[in-house]
Structure formats: structure tokens, C-alpha cells
Amino acid sequence: MSTLSDLVYAQGLFSEADVEWLHRLAGDGQLLADLAFADIVIWVPTADDSFIAVGHSRPSGAATLFYRDIVGDRVRPQWRTQVRDAFHTAQIIDSASPDWFEETPTRVRAVPIARARPGEPRTTIGVLTRHTNLGETRTPSRQQITFNECADDLFGMIAAADFPDMAAPTAPRRGAPRASDGLIRVDVDGMVTFASPNALSAFNRLGFDDELEGESLLEVVTRILPDKRQFDESLPVVVAGRAPWRADLEARGVTVSMRTIPLREHGARVGAVVLCRDVTEIRHQEQELITKDATIREIHHRVKNNLQTVASLLRIQARRSHSEDARESLTQAMRRVAAIAVVHDTLSEGLAQVVDFDEVFDRVLKLVAEVAASPSTRASTRSTGRFGTLPSEYATPLALALTELVTNAVEHGLAGQEGDVEIAADRTADRLEVKVRDTGAGLPEGQVGRGLGTQIVRTLIQGELGGTIDWHTLVGSGTEVTIDIPLRYIERQT
């Protein structure tokens, strides 16, 4: 299914600012649908004088009319005239009589979506339609009446380019308050004129055990807040209904997230809608995640320190060894441990358990070039292409495998001579290919080393990464090793 941006840009009639405005409005589509107890559809004009649906929200407290997604569909003939009139007149147009949709009586309201460009007159960029199901009509409750009034106020603000407010912060990914979670309506002086049962319950848990209606919301919050405790500086502005902002209210171990939407009429503030939601458990979970992330980072840091200590011990032991073979084995072990330490050092610097492997490999490459080269060997190493980010459980084996390959290229391929070692990475959507080339003597075609390093590389690439590895001699001189790792396999494992 096409996204809102794809559908809007496909018409060739809109700027980036128009698309951003429509995105912000669509982001509050669920709020509008819940307040209006109706389906909300966003339409934009097409080049052939029609309209296409780019957004749709179903009400959570009423039956939907559209059981199939209509995003991407053209406006139906029975709505076309109403939608076109609303667009061209920049006025809200209500259907004169009930409209029938698949044998269900409905009432349709078409609201022009106006956007105010700085220094320019207000222009209409689309139309929002409200489709109310009349098949389930019943005597509306006071809450439903208030919700509908709030929806009508917001529809008027949409037509006047007062909503959405581009200065307001975007919704968080988790815990954003919804109309069903709790709604408080305040007048221009901040006095509560309506509080839904869920909103009253949230304030009861905060320690307020009286009725909210008729009270100043700012004074109520002031009484709730614990003494000598820091609070969100934006909280007074939010609860007074003066700015389209968000804040958390904390008391008695309970956290209530609040969002204010100022209501305007002819540009003047006439009140506000305050949405509230008890997010205590969500905040606890977020705090636990932060603590766990910090713990994991500390573990990586300590593992890195321990590995560096082991590498130092191996280096000291190698220097004191009288056997050339023992010294070489200890040096190789030290290099492998140090390569693993680089990955853990990178993991300790961020919250995500993925690493920028290009950064990791640059550090590993410097380490290998310094340690592997002998006085009689002059190796120039360079890396081309990009590895991108990799999950931690795959960064370690790949770093270790490349350490072995580059070490072999320097110590054996370029032994006693001057030459180049190139590591070329080629990453696509479904695979990562790495080629390690040297300009050394090369291997006899079809012959592969049988040492510990080769065994380690095979185990890491084929066993842990599910990839393939191939050795062959370049035309003229040198050796090229090709590693191919399927990224879909990596994503499935992580």
C-alpha cells in the first residue's frame, strides 16, 4: 500500500510543506475519529479534477463504515460534489440529507484543509470528510456530546488553518494520550467544564479525590504536586490550556501524561482540550530499559577492559618467549583478542546493540597492519566501499575473520616484500560481499592453507554467519579471498 507521501507527491500539485502539514493532520486522524465517533478520510485533489484518499482513521468507540481500506481510492460519485465544493469554497459543507453507503445511512461533513503559508493568504490543500454511521443512533451521552463539540471545534480550526499546530511536538512512540484515555475540557480561564470518567480516575490516582468540573485545572495540579520536588517546567502552560504542548504529571508514584490542544475561534483562544493518560507502567518499563541499556554498556566496557588485559598479558608473554614458534602463536592470539575488544569497545559507546562496522574495521585494520608487518615487509592497507551497521553477534565473528585474512595477506602474501592489501566491501539489500586482495606471491590455484587461521575463518564465516568463502589467485600475482554473507539470514537471526 502506498504511503501518504507517495500518493500526494504522485499528483504533482504539492510542496514539501504541504505534505508535512497533511502528515501532521493524519497523525491526529485517530483523535478526530474518536472525538467525532466517525470515520475520518483525508482527500487531496488530482490533476484531472477529482480527489484521491491519502489517509483514513476508524473510530475506536463506534462502528466503522469502511471495512476495507480506501486509501488510494478515488472519491465516490455521491461525495464528489460535496468534496469539490468544500475545496473550492473553503467552507465546511454538510450533506443535506442522509447519504446511503452500502445500505447504511450516513451523514457526511466535508471540511477544507487549509494551510497558512508565511506571508501569503490561506490556501486549501485538501478536504477532510467525516462519515457518521446513523445506523446505530441512540440518545447521546453527555460525554458523546462534549466529544462531538470538541470535534466540531477542531474541524473549524482545520478550515481556518489553525490545526494542526506545526509548533507542537510530535507524538511519542509510546504512551501518547488518546481521547478514550481521558479528556478534560477547560474554558479560556482554565476552568474545567467537563472531565471524562477516565480523566477523573487518573487524577484520583494522583491523589485528587474531588470533582474536577468547576475547578481551575492549574490549581488542582498545584495541590497535587509534591512539595520540594522538581516538575516539568512546561506543566503550568499545559494544564492552563495556553499552548499545544505535552508534559508529565507525577505524584504518589503515578505518572499521567498530558497533552493540550488549545481551541481557537477566529484566531482567538476560547478554551482547550486536555488529553490525559496514566502511563505509570510505561514509564517504569522505559526506566527499566534505560537501566538495562546502561548495564549492558557497562558489561561491554568491562569485557573490553578484560580482553585488553588478556591481550597485554599475551604480548608480554610473547616478548619473553625464547621459542620463535611460541612467540608467533602468542602474538596471533593477542591480535585476535584485541580485535574482539574493539567490537566491545564500540558497543559500550551506544545504546543499540548494533555497530558501525566501518568504524570498527578501520580500528582493526590499523591494529593488524601495525602488528603483522615485519621489518622486511612493507604493507599498504586500504579499505573501499561500506560495510554499514551490523548486529553485535555478527560484528565480532566478521571482525575476527577479516583480522585473520588481512594478517595472512601481510605475513604470508607479502612476506619480505612491499605490496598492497585492499579490503573491498559491497553491501546490497540482501547480501554483504567482502573481497580481500593482496599483491603478493599468491597461492597455487585450487590450494588453500590448512593452518589454524584458515580453520578459524571457515568456522566463523560458514558456521556463525551462514556465508561462503572462496580463495583464488589473481591474474599475474596476488591472492583474492571473497566472503559472501546473506543479510536476510542475519536479520532473521536477530
Residues 378 and 394 in one domain: yes
> How far does Cα 285 stand from its chain's mean position?
18
Distance of alpha carbon 486 from alpha carbon 473, whole angstroms:
24
The pLDDT mean for the chain works out to: 84
Q: Looking at the domain assignment, is residue 173 inside a domain?
A: no
* Range with lowest mean pLDDT among 111-120, 155-164, 299-308: 299-308
Same domain, residue pair 34 and 85: yes
Which of 351, 386, 405 is at the close of a domain? 351
Query: Is residue 172 assigned to a domain?
Result: no
- pLDDT tens digits, one per residue of 193-244: 999 999 999 999 999 989 999 999 999 998 888 776 666 677 888 888 888 9
Hey, which bits of 183-299 come out as E strands? Answer: 183-187, 192-195, 246-251, 254-265, 268-278
Residue that terminates a domain, selected from 130, 159, 188: 159
pTM above 0.85, yes or no: no
Q: Answer whether residue 397 is part of any domain.
A: yes
Quick: pLDDT tens for 404-454: 888 877 777 676 677 788 889 998 888 889 998 888 766 655 556 666 777
Domain residue limits at 316: 283-351
Check which CATH number belongs to the domain holding 367 and give it. Answer: 3.30.565.10
> What CATH number did the domain enclosing 252 receive?
3.30.450.20
Domain end point (choices 227, 261, 278)? 278
Mark whether 81 and 196 lie in a shared domain.
Answer: no
- pLDDT at position 494 is 44
- Tell me, what's the pLDDT at 230? 63
How far is 35 from 25, CA to CA, in rounded Å? 14
In the prediction, which pLDDT does 270 show? 93
Question: Do 301 and 231 belong together in one domain?
Answer: no
For residue 101, the Cα-to-chain-centroid distance in whole angstroms is: 37
Among 150-164, 244-258, 292-306, name the most confident range.
Answer: 150-164
Does residue 171 belong to any structural domain of this protein? no
Any domain includes 189: yes
Quote helix, strand, coil % in the chain, to nearest 5.
40, 25, 30
Count CA atoms closer than 13 A to 408's CA, side-chain side: 25
> And the C-alpha cell for 464?
556463525
Distance separating the N- and C-terminal Cα atoms of the chain: 26
Domain shared by 85 and 209, yes or no: no
| 240 and 371 part of one domain | no
DSSP string, 94-142: E-SSPEEETTEEEEEEEEEEEE--TTS--EEEEEEEEEEE-TT--PPPH
Peptide bond into 98 cis (omega under 30): no
User: How confident is the model over 134-152, as a mean pLDDT?
Assistant: 87
- Per-residue pLDDT at 349: 67
pLDDT in tens, 55-74: 999 999 888 888 888 999 99
Would you say residue 303 lies in a domain? Answer: yes
d(CA 278, CA 55): 29
Domain identity same for 339 and 375: no
- Considering the domain architecture, whether residues 358 and 306 belong to the same structural domain is answered as no
Better-scored residue on pLDDT, 390 or 19: 19
240/333 same-domain check: no
Same domain, 107 and 152: yes
Q: Average of pLDDT values for 248-275?
A: 91
Number of compact structural domains in the chain? 4
Whether residue 95 is found in the same domain as residue 185: no
Higher pLDDT, 141 or 335: 141
Q: Which of 241-245, 277-281, 340-344, 458-462 has the lowest mean pLDDT?
A: 340-344
Judgement on whether residues 196 and 290 belong to the same structural domain of the protein: no
Decide if 165 is inside a domain.
no
Given a cut of 80, whether residue 120 has pLDDT beyond it is no
DSSP run (H or E) holding 284: helix 280-320
Question: Given a cut of 90, is residue 12 above it in pLDDT?
Answer: no
CA distance 375 to 358: 28
Alpha carbons 255 and 277: distance in angstroms, whole number = 8
Mean pLDDT is lowest, of 128-132, 148-152, 295-299, 312-316, for: 295-299
Dihedral sign from CA coordinates of 250, 253, 254, 257: positive
Whichever domain contains 115, its CATH number is 3.30.450.280
Helices 357-372 and 324-347 meet at what angle, rounded to 10? Answer: 160
